[in-house]
Amino acid sequence: MKIPKPRKRGEAYYIEIMINGKRSSATRDTIKECTQWAYKRLMELQLKYEKELKDLDKPKCSLRELFNLYYEKVGQYTKSKTYIKNHIKWLDRYYGDLVECSVHDFSSLLRSLWCT
- The per-residue pLDDT string of the chain (116 residues; one tens digit each, 9 = 90 and over) reads 678 888 999 999 999 988 777 888 999 999 999 999 999 998 888 888 877 777 666 667 788 888 888 889 988 888 988 888 888 888 878 877 778 877 776 665 566 666 65
Cβ burial, residue 5 (10 Å; 0-12/13-18/19+): exposed
CA distances from 63 to 9, 24, 26, 105 (A): 60, 44, 50, 11
Q: Residue ranges of the domains in the chain?
A: 7-55, 63-115
pLDDT given at position 38: 92
pLDDT given at position 24: 87
pLDDT given at position 107: 66
